[in-house]
Amino acid sequence: MADTDTAAKRETDSIGTDELSQKAKRAKADNENGRGEDAKESESENILSGFKTSSVLSDSAREKIIFIRGKLADQEAVVVLEKTPIREDSLAELFSGSRLKLEMRNDIYSTYRLQAPPHLNEIKTTVVCPATEKHIKKYQRQESFLVEETGEDYQSITLPYIQKQSFSVQWVYNILEKKAEGDRIVYEDPDPEVGFVLLPDLKWDQKQVDDLYLIAIAHQRDIGSLRDLTSEHLPLLQNIFQKGKEAILQHYNLPASKLRVYLHYQPSYYHLHVHFTKLGYEAPGCGVERAHLLSDVIQNLQSDPEYYKTRTLYFPLRADDGLLSKFKEAGRL
């Protein structure tokens, strides 16, 4: 029940195992593992050359991103196109190797159309195929509503809805079991009780620290969301908080004072995970209506072991979200 979170957050459902999906995964892995350009271009061409657009689900001129619905090999698909950031280490080549076309000049001001070298003008592309109706709704522009959920509401409305939906987190287990994305793991504590894996979120291209975004995924599998946390989970939360910050300092030379560490409620998938982003980067979902600082969560549980069992929580839901309908039916909205 994630909101649009336009910068394409990690997929909440496993992609199918058909040949087309495997090609998409291999192309993504090639891109992230730094394989040769020819191999990457070949894979990408094979995937998208037959894509037939049916509609634009949503777009953002400010964030330079567009979500497109269409078909690949007669299967429903969603393609996400996002302009990659301009990196400081590429500026010299960008200035010297580009072509400029004058559009307007007025006194000290002038504007141009800049045609950059192809490798400096990339578009990050995410392919979801076969795409379910849930994927299509996820990326479609929708009005949002702020929901007020008491502890009783969670037990009577939210929890039954979650259990009935049976949201898949198999892709999370694949990461924890090293069946997928093992090469992307930055750090791991293998302890089954307090351990976790830390890896880059798919929104981060890992080319600059200014928009650093990593996810810590707990090895424990019985914690779905903030509502499940009690004081018995403090060792796990403290371990993620401390060792996650240490790993980021070691790998990216970014101190804890420049990090925002938080959990989402509602989460986009129901397996405990913690977000690590650079302070100052406006990551999707970092607003106060959804993000809960891990430091606050730890202190709240230290003060009250059952804090999140009874606390009234607020979160946004899209107009087409099934949970929103349940709250309306119960007269809570």
CATH of the domain at 313: 3.30.428.10
Instruction: Specify the range with the lowest mean pLDDT, choosing from 17-21, 175-179, 257-261.
Output: 17-21
Instruction: Give pLDDT, residue 43.
Output: 52
User: Domain boundary residue among 74, 108, 141?
Assistant: 141
Residue 301: is its pLDDT beyond 90? yes
More confident: 306 or 13: 306
Mean pLDDT for the stretch of residues 272-281: 96
Contact 198, 192 (CB under 8 A): no
Q: How confident is the model at residue 36 (pLDDT cuts 50, 70, 90)?
A: very low
Residue 251: is its pLDDT beyond 90? yes
Q: How confident is the model at residue 46 (pLDDT cuts 50, 70, 90)?
A: low
Give yes or no: residues 66 and 179 share one domain. no
More confident: 81 or 5: 81
Instruction: Give pLDDT, residue 333.
Output: 84
Residue 195: is its pLDDT beyond 80? yes
Give yes or no: residues 100 and 153 share one domain. no
Mean pLDDT (the chain, rounded): 85
Residue 28: is its pLDDT beyond 60? no
Mean pLDDT for the stretch of residues 278-285: 89
Give yes or no: residues 293 and 264 share one domain. yes
Instruction: Give pLDDT, residue 138.
Output: 77
Residue 23: is its pLDDT beyond 90? no
Give yes or no: residues 177 and 321 share one domain. yes
Catalytic, out of 264, 271, 273, 275: 273
Give yes or no: residues 155 and 283 share one domain. yes
Give yes or no: residues 35 and 177 share one domain. no
Task: List Cβ neighbours of 320 (8 Å cut-off, separation of 6 or more).
Answer: 137, 140, 142
Residue 26: is its pLDDT beyond 80? no
Residue 18: is its pLDDT beyond 80? no
Instruction: Give pLDDT, residue 7.
Output: 33
Give yes or no: residues 21 and 166 share one domain. no
Mean pLDDT for the stretch of residues 310-320: 92
Residues of the chain with pLDDT > 70: what percent?
86
More confident: 158 or 87: 158
Give yes or no: residues 116 and 218 share one domain. no
Mean pLDDT for the stretch of residues 295-324: 94
Give yes or no: residues 172 and 220 share one domain. yes
Concerning whether 273 is annotated as a catalytic residue, the answer is yes
**Radius of gyration, alpha carbons of the chain:** 21
Give yes or no: residues 65 and 189 share one domain. no
CATH number where 49 lies:
3.30.200
Instruction: Specify the range with the lowest mean pLDDT, choosing from 60-69, 186-195, 259-268, 286-295.
Output: 60-69
Rounded Cα distance, 116 and 228, in Å: 50
Q: What is the pTM (predicted TM-score) of this model?
A: 0.68
Give yes or no: residues 75 and 136 share one domain. yes
Range of the domain at 104: 85-121
Instruction: Give pLDDT, residue 35.
Output: 39
Give yes or no: residues 176 and 198 share one domain. yes
The total number of structural domains that make up the chain: 3
Instruction: Give pLDDT, residue 133.
Output: 82
Residue 264: is its pLDDT beyond 50? yes
Q: Model confidence over 90-131: pLDDT tens digits?
A: 999 999 999 999 999 989 989 999 999 988 888 888 898 988
Instruction: Give pLDDT, residue 143.
Output: 84
